Structure 1
Amino acid sequence: MLFHKTTYFNQTMAVEIITKEDLLQFKHDLLTELKNVISNPANTTTTKYLQSYEVRKLLNISPGTLQHLRVSGKLPYTKLGGKMFYDYQDIKKMLEKDKVK
């Protein structure tokens, strides 16, 4: 009978201990950052882009209607990798522009 010795674990792992004070400091920093974002929304540069299916669902329109909005130039879009993306702000502008008064 033949026996084979195998070493399964031959690595050194670095361990960092997190104290309660570390967690309290993290909480304080996180809350401060959240307050800054909430009180100054103009500082955020996040733009919401929607894909075609999301725009159709949002506006409750058919694929043909969305295509008409694109072709007619009413709704700007960006084509990237075969997918079309629409800026949420452009959708809002289109709706405001075409609002019946």
Structure 2
Amino acid sequence: MATRKAPENRPTLSFLSKAKINTMEADQLLTKKDLELFKQELFEFIRHQHQNENPAPGEWLRSKEVRTMLKISPGTLQNLRINGTIKFNKIGGAIYYSKDEITRLLSSGL
């Protein structure tokens, strides 16, 4: 099978000498298969962590629900998060609060 020559206007990897390529160790190269395997392992790890740490979906409240329950402003809720009075989880851009935590705050007379 004849090899094709790259067109003149197309960049080539001729700047890499064969000596450089030959000195690279096989364990330093990542293949697409390696990355796919890593992705699968990472997803499994995240899924496992998510299942073990988070309560059922019905036990989480969004910020608006918490503000309504506690009758507070968005700024006050932010201050409660900052000073550690209220625990929360941030997933993406959304902040979630444990319903048990909010109930505890209500019973403590916040």
> What TM-score do you get using the length of structure 1 for normalisation?
0.48
> What TM-score do you get using the length of structure 2 for normalisation?
0.44
